[in-house]
Structure 1
Amino acid sequence: MPSSRSATGQLRVSWLLLVVVGLVLAGFVVLAPTIGLLLEQRRDIAAMEAQVAAQQANVEALQTDQARWDDPAYIEAQARDRLFFVYPGETSFVVLDDRSALETAAADVPSATLEEPSRDWASAAATSFLIAGLTDESPSSFMGVPPEPQ
């Protein structure tokens, strides 16, 4: 009989254990949406804090720019550069083509010699017209394939 007693001892589950497990599961079910909402709000707060930091940096840059405009020498330099202002008696020169010599030298210059074309364009156009008008195939079958001359 000792074998039957050990078998029943292993299968004993108390009602208290079932109630505790049920309450824990119910707690998870109830708290899961709230925890998800909490995490979402934390992400939103972090994004807003980053946005505030960026705006504060922008405000500081604008304040620095405003402080520059309090300097009369800066105002004079801006008037000369942007508006082309000069003092009476001064001569102003405006350079119209201010590209660097490197940019002008790098421009492609067309060749002075005539080149013979590899194909006759008129016959290629006529062949394309005939193929397009006399074929029963869809246009997608011709994509990327040049027509063959006849």
Structure 2
Amino acid sequence: MPRLFSIRVAVMAVVLGLAFVLAYPTLASYLQQQAELTQLRSQVAAARERNDDLQADLARWDDPAYVTAQARERLAFVMPGETAFRVVDPEIVPDTAPVEGAAPSSELDEGLTLPWYATVWDSVQEAGAAGDNEDAPATDAGTPSP
């Protein structure tokens, strides 16, 4: 009798081992796909939330008051008849007051008095002037020009 019992246990162990070998890759793949699915669902939820935020931002631009506020804030626009004041950080402003009619003492002072679009325009003009000088033919110092 003990011999039959050991054969049955051995057969059962082989069957269970074979079942584990066959089922483990499938189970591991299933668990990995479930983890990926959970991650992708969270990414979709985050993308939908970002989309909702962007739609809300886009809807704000339909409001004329918001457009006016953005123009005032970003571009320093003022309505006709209003006086624009610019508050400057005291750490950046020089301690000495500028003399009326005098040119700014440095490029830093000039940059503080100009709005951003004037600074951009000045840089475009400087770049154009530099490009004009590069297009001119180079002359040697020893060669006389006609």
Match of 1:29 in 2: 21
CA distances 1:37-88 after superposition (whole Å, capped 9, x unpaired): 1111111110000000001110111111111110001000110111011122
Equivalent residue letter for 1:88: P
Pairwise CA distance, 1:10: 4.8
- When structure 1 is superposed on structure 2, of 34-43 and 11-20 the one drifting more is 11-20
SS of the residue 2:62 aligns to = coil
SS of the residue 1:89 aligns to = coil
1:63 counterpart = 2:55: yes
- 2:62 and 2:90 map into 1 onto residues whose CA distance is 31
Q: 1:44 to 1:98 in 2, by over 3 A?
A: farther
Match of 1:127 in 2: none
Match of 2:85 in 1: 93
- 2:90 and 2:7 map into 1 onto residues whose CA distance is 91
Name stretches of at least 5 consecutive residues in structure 1 with no aligned partner.
1-8, 100-150
Match of 1:48 among 32, 36, 40: 40
Identity of aligned residues (%): 42
Runs (4+) of structure 1 exceeding 3 A deviation are 9-12, 14-18
Equivalent residue letter for 2:34: R
Match of 2:127 in 1: none
Name stretches of at least 5 consecutive residues in structure 2 with no aligned partner.
92-146
Pairwise CA distance, 1:15: 4.2
Which structure is richer in relative contact order (CA contacts within 8 A, separation 6 or more)? 1
TM-score (norm 2): 0.56
Pairwise CA distance, 1:35: 1.0
Larger radius of gyration: 1
TM-score (norm 1): 0.54
Aligned pairs for 1:66-85 (under 5 A) are 66-85=58-77
Equivalent residue letter for 1:31: A
SS of the residue 1:36 aligns to = helix
- 1:80 and 1:34 map into 2 onto residues whose CA distance is 62
Equivalent residue letter for 1:63: Q
- 2:86 and 2:32 map into 1 onto residues whose CA distance is 58
Equivalent residue letter for 1:70: D
- 1:80 and 1:63 map into 2 onto residues whose CA distance is 23
